Structure 1
Amino acid sequence: MAPPAYIISRVADPVFALAIGIAAAAVRINREEKEKGRTTQQTIEAARRRLGFPARS
């Protein structure tokens, strides 16, 4: 039986995949929000409010 093939390592591969997925989602959301005429900063502030983080002063 052949050993499993890992790109980085057994532990790092899933972490890497999650990071790539989150980054891809962030890029897509930002692109769609820009098409609606919003800035990146407005998008970040809306996400912070939605997730319940306190507003920055």
Structure 2
Amino acid sequence: MSTPYLISKAIDPIFAVTVGITAAAVRINREEKEKGRSTQDTIDTLKRRTAMLFDGEKGVREREKDA
């Protein structure tokens, strides 16, 4: 009889989320490179979008002003 978990009952969900996030990051980076953008451009875009998500438009303006 096979075991129902890859690692353990507690670690499997964390492992799955980590693999999913990593796969998404690799795909996004690959697609952005095909468009001619660098990895740093992709990271800057991610930071800007994250700021919009958590801080709203005000947070984005403040970060752009600081840069």
| TM-score after normalising by structure 1 | 0.83
State the Cα deviation string for residues 6-52 of structure 1 (Å, max 9, x = none). Answer: 11100100100000000000000000000000000010001101110
Determine what percentage of the aligned residue pairs are the same residue: 55
Count of aligned pairs = 55
Gaps of 5+ in 2: 52-58
CA RMSD in angstroms, aligned pairs only: 2.0
Which segments of 5 or more consecutive residues in structure 1 lack a partner in the other structure?
Answer: none
Which amino acid counterpart does residue 6 of structure 1 have in structure 2? Y
Find runs of 4+ consecutive structure 1 residues off by over 3 angstroms.
53-57
- Higher relative contact order by CA 8 Å / sep ≥ 6: 1 or 2? 1
- Other-structure match for 2:38: 39
Structure 2 equivalent of residue 30 of structure 1: 29
